[in-house]
Amino acid sequence: MSNLLIKNGQIIDPANDINQIGSLYIVNGKINAIDNEPAGFKANQVIDAKNQIVCPGFIDLSTRLREPGHSRKATFKSETLAAASAGVTTMCLHPDTKPVIDTAAVAELIRELAGKANYPQIYPIAALTQKLEGTELSSMLSLKQAGCIAVGNANQPIKNLLILRRAMEYAASHDLLLMFRPNDYWLGNNGCAHEGAVATRYGLPSIPEAAETIALDQCLELAELTGCRVHFGQISCKRSVIKIHQAMKYGMDVSADVAIHQLHLTENDMVPFDSAYHVLPPLRTEADKHYLRQGLASGTLHCICSDHQPHDIDAKLGAFPETEPGISALETLLPLMLKLVTKHAITMEQGIAALSQNPARILRLESGALTPGLPADVCIFDPELEWQVNADNWKSRGVNTPFWGQTMKGRVTHTLQAGQVIHALKATVSQES
């Protein structure tokens, strides 16, 4: 019997409406009780979480770990270490690996890689269409049976709306969630920056908000038509927030997330031609950032994701439009969420719920809460601990982040996955009897 006690921490569990200082008892990898010591409980391990927050482990809806196919950028080994150190206990993986996650074999390979990295809670998202080419349906049922948690087409376009309709109908038949990043390929026009003053000044190919909102509208209409459950990923602009809000008010079963960097950075923060700021969807305006924050506070946007995209150095070395988009984002996820709390954009409970309870509900996972009986996926963090984003403190293979060199406030001290300590910042785990 393995018993673990986390004591003196401020336990915040939005799913159960708990926010109190107390003890968390973990027995055999499962949450057993809060404060009420189980009969005959004898701790093998005690973590003193004084002045720290104890909350459900984070569930990240949008990550890329670069295997299989791009191990030059990152590996399961490097990125699961990064995830563990960031308090992330569950990750969804986009299907744009090489090969694409469009067969059961590739899905099984991913589960195997996850097992080898001692980080089992990696869920592949199945390709919606074969090879992500947007023309023929993938074998969604087999993929679901092989462990895929949802379907999606990564950032690749679907050839036409008829195919999208059919794919959604088919996904709905097997009760599969569609994870959809709204982007009209043609309106996007291979752009690399928000269609605004900055792109105009620097002559950068630009992407209007309409590329997102039109694709969102179309997908909402098809969700209504097909009954497919849809989750919108990496929303970037004000009008998308308004449209999702309206759809929810109308009673549609839709949800949405926002990438953490979109809640902090705008086009005006971009250092001229610095590829660290090259992300898709692009960094937009102050008004967009404000609405995204409000959407999170009001519950229109349910989740925050890291949209983790580690890159090798070469991918970011070049003239801005020619570099690859994306930020290595797992490790700054928590401090950037906490910054939103400090700025009173959201409450601590909202921030934690957006990283645990809400994604669990959308994915229908038995986690994201500290309910007795659930696997003990737990994140313990010190909200005041300052650290610098530098090579000494960084685990991801990708150093492509615009926050490099900056001081962050708030750091994960322990991460537990099903009761196993998969990350401990310092030697605060003491052995008892």
Partner 1 sequence: MTKAIDNLQLNAEGKLKHFITIEGLGKTLLTEILDTAESFVGMTDQQIKKVPLLRGKTIVNLFFENSTRTRTTFELAAKRLSADVLSMSISTSSTSKGESLLDTIRNLEAMFVDMFVVRHGISGAAHFIARHTAPHISVINAGDGQHAHPTQAMLDMFTIRQIKKDFTALRVAIIGDILHSRVARSQIQALNTLGAAEIRVIAPKTLLPAHVETLGVNVCHNLNEGLKDIDVIIMLRLQKERMTSALLPSESEYFKCFGLTESKLKIAKPDAIVMHPGPINRGVEIESSVADGSQSVILKQVSNGIAVRMAIMSMAMQPQGGMQ
- Rounded CA-CA distance 279/293 in Å is 19
Nearer to partner 1, 204 or 354 (CB): 204
The CA distance from 193 to 172, in Å, is 34
Q: Tokens in use for 216? A: 């969102």
Of 185, 202, 387, 404, the residue at the interface with partner 1 (CB under 8 A) is: 202
Q: Which helix (H) or strand (E) holds 173?
A: helix 161-173
Q: Tell me the closest approach of the beta carbon of residue 326 to partner 1, in angstroms.
A: 18
Nearest partner of 93 among 156, 157, 158, 148, judged by Cα: 148
Considering only 67, 267, 377, 382, the residue that binds partner 1 (CB under 8 A) is 267
From the list 199-207, 298-306, 350-358, 400-408, the region that binds partner 1 by CB under 8 A is 199-207
Q: Where do runs of H (alpha helix) occur along 308-411?
A: 333-342, 348-355, 357-363
390 is a site residue for partner 1 (CB under 8 A):
no
Contact 99, 69 (CB under 8 A): yes
Burial state string for 314-328 with b = 16 or more CB within 10 A and e = fewer than 16: ebbeeebbebbbbbb
Active site residue 307: yes
41 binds partner 1, rule: CB under 8 A = no
Task: Pick from 74, 164, 199, 327 the residue near partner 1 by CB under 8 A.
Answer: 199
Judged by CB under 8 A, the chain residues 320 through 339 that form the site for partner 1 are: 320-322
The sign of the dihedral angle between the CA atoms of 27, 54, 56, 109 is negative
> Smallest distance, Å, CB 320 to partner 1?
4
The reply on whether position 268 binds partner 1 by CB under 8 A is: yes
Exactly one of 288, 307, 312, 382 is catalytic; which is it? 307
The only residue of 39, 271, 391, 427 in contact with partner 1, by rule CB under 8 A = 271
Rounded-to-integer distance, Cα 426 and Cα 418, Å: 20
* Contacts with partner 1, 300-319, as mask; x by CB under 8 A: --------------x--xxx
Binds partner 1 by CB under 8 A, chosen from 195, 212, 307, 377: 195
DSSP state of 53: E
Of 57, 87, 134, 208, the residue at the interface with partner 1 (CB under 8 A) is 208
Beta bridge partners of 30: 27, 375
Closest separation between CB of residue 214 and partner 1, Å? 16
Q: How far is the CB of 197 from partner 1 (least distance, A)?
A: 4
422 is a contact residue toward partner 1 (CB under 8 A)? no
**Extended beta strands in 86-149, E state:** 88-93, 122-127
* Site residue total, partner 1 (CB under 8 A): 26
253 binds partner 1 (CB under 8 A): no
- Residue 89 Cβ vs partner 1, minimum distance, rounded to whole Å: 37
Which among 26-34, 83-91, 189-197, 247-255 is the span making contact with partner 1, rule CB under 8 A?
189-197
SS3 content of the chain, % helix, strand, coil (to 5): 35, 25, 40
Tell me if 403 contacts partner 1 by CB under 8 A.
no
- Minimal distance in Å, beta carbon 279 to partner 1? 14
Q: Is 190:157 a contact under the CB 8 Å cutoff?
A: no
Q: Is residue 204 near partner 1 by the rule CB under 8 A?
A: yes
Kindly list the distances between the CA atom of residue 362 and the CA atoms of 126, 178, 300, 407, 432, in Å, as whole numbers in the listed order: 16, 11, 13, 33, 39
Residue 320 or 381: which CB sits closer to partner 1? 320
Length of the chain: 433
Enumerate the active-site residues: 307
Residue numbers at the binding site for partner 1 (CB under 8 A):
195-206, 208, 267-268, 270-273, 314, 317-322
